[in-house]
């Protein structure tokens, strides 16, 4: 089954569970704020679950079943979510979290972060996908990726830190013209308010990111979450201990990478060689 169809199916399942939460909450006489206070969570968390934008976690489902006297209805619904749909849903859920995030920390060692890609670079990424995508789907994905970048240019932009391997800058994905445009775009992004861009240089003897790329974000209600992708799936990480490990890795990466000014200098040199 095509991944995009799995996302739509799972999104519908998440919305169904969210609608159940909203109905049970209303029947119990709680507002979203009142329920959030009872479960020690943010009001935005309750709203996101009810709208189907955030998956209902099993432990929270059990808590809500007890609080709302739903006779294990929510726990049963969560336990029976289609397992084949869960992984694509995490990617879709991440997009919603990214859109609302107040802070992002993003490490990449193979490709530019989606929020920093130019149109030409994004198109080159999707054109090299295996199996090959249809031309129409490539253009749809490019448009969706570019639309995500509004987070960096909104009235109150997110605080964003990016660490990118120097190998990504050396690769000429899409050809010389795309490569030159990408370097100019990165140099421009490096001067945007709230953005810190750092390059992890080649030839290091120590490296805290050898396990692969990852993202840590902070939500408006100050929840810290991690996100990581693999070849055939993705994972949204919410357990505080696991998020803490990613945050410590990222802190170490920042000390190992070139600082922001050194990174700008590197980009200037690479642009001068074009």
Predicted local distance difference test score (pLDDT) of residue 144: 84
Q: Per the domain annotation, does 95 fall within a domain? A: no
Shared domain check, 47 and 109: no
Q: Which residue has the higher pLDDT, 15 or 177?
A: 177
Q: Per the domain annotation, does 96 fall within a domain? A: no
Shared domain check, 240 and 127: yes
d(CA 37, CA 144): 36
Domain count, the chain: 2
- CATH code where residue 59 lies: 1.10.260.40
Shared domain check, 218 and 142: yes
Mean per-residue pLDDT over the chain, rounded: 88
Q: Specify which residues 164 forms β-bridges with.
A: 108, 199
Final residue of a structural domain among 18, 49, 84: 84
Q: Per the domain annotation, does 91 fall within a domain? A: no
Residue 196: pLDDT band with limits 50, 70, 90 = very high
**E strand spans, 58-150:** 103-108
Predicted local distance difference test score (pLDDT) of residue 261: 97
Shared domain check, 48 and 183: no
Q: Specify which residues 216 forms β-bridges with.
A: 105, 226
What mean pLDDT comes out for the span 135-139? 88
Shared domain check, 107 and 79: no
pLDDT greater than 60 at residue 5: no
Shared domain check, 124 and 71: no
Tell me the per-residue pLDDT of 205-239, one tens digit each, with 9 for 90 and over. Answer: 999 999 999 999 999 999 999 999 888 777 889 89
Predicted local distance difference test score (pLDDT) of residue 90: 52
Q: Per the domain annotation, does 128 fall within a domain? A: yes
Q: Per the domain annotation, does 25 fall within a domain? A: yes
Shared domain check, 221 and 125: yes
pTM for the whole structure: 0.69
Q: Using alpha carbons only, what angle is made at residue 118 by residues 110 and 113, rounded to the nearest 5 degrees?
A: 35
Final residue of a structural domain among 84, 115, 143: 84
57: domain range? 3-84
Q: Per the domain annotation, does 41 fall within a domain? A: yes
Shared domain check, 133 and 22: no
207-to-40, 60, 102, 162, 236 alpha-carbon distances in Å: 38, 37, 27, 16, 23
Nearest to 160 by CA among 101, 205, 203, 120: 101
pLDDT greater than 80 at residue 120: yes
Tell me the per-residue pLDDT of 147-185, one tens digit each, with 9 for 90 and over. Answer: 889 888 888 889 999 999 999 999 999 999 999 999 999
Shared domain check, 107 and 63: no
Q: Per the domain annotation, does 173 fall within a domain? A: yes
Q: Per the domain annotation, does 89 fall within a domain? A: no
Shared domain check, 240 and 124: yes
Shared domain check, 109 and 43: no
- CATH code where residue 173 lies: 3.30.870
Tell me the per-residue pLDDT of 247-262, one tens digit each, with 9 for 90 and over. Answer: 999 999 999 999 999 9
Shared domain check, 185 and 73: no
Final residue of a structural domain among 24, 58, 84: 84
For 71, phi and psi rounded to 5 degrees?
A: 55, 45
Percent of the chain with pLDDT over 70: 91
């Amino acid at each position: 089954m095509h991944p995009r169809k799995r996302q739509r199916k799972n999104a519908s399942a998440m919305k169904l569970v969210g609608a159940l939460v909203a109905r049970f909450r209303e029947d119990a006489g709680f507002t979203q704020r009142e329920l959030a206070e009872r479960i020690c969570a943010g009001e935005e968390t309750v709203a996101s679950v009810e709208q189907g934008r955030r998956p209902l976690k099993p432990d929270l489902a059990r808590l809500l079943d007890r609080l709302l006297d739903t006779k294990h209805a929510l726990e049963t619904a969560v336990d029976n979510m289609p397992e084949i749909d869960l992984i694509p849903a995490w990617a879709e859920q991440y997009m919603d979290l990214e859109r609302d995030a107040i802070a992002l920390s993003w490490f990449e060692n193979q490709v530019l972060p989606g929020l920093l890609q130019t149109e030409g670079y994004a198109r080159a990424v999707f054109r090299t996908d295996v199996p090959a995508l249809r031309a129409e789907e490539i253009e749809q994905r490019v448009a969706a990726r570019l639309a995500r970048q509004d987070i960096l240019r909104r009235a109150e932009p997110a605080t964003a830190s990016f660490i990118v391997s120097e190998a990504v800058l050396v690769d000429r994905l899409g050809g010389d013209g795309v490569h030159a445009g990408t370097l100019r775009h990165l140099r421009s992004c490096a001067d945007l308010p709230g953005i810190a861009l750092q390059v992890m240089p080649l030839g290091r003897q120590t490296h805290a990111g050898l396990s692969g790329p990852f993202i840590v974000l902070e939500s408006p209600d100050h929840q810290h979450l991690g996100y990581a992708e693999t070849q055939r799936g993705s994972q949204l990480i919410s357990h505080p201990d696991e998020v803490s490990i990613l945050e410590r890795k990222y802190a170490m990466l920042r000390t190992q990478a070139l600082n922001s000014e050194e990174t700008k200098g590197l980009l200037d040199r690479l642009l001068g060689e074009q």
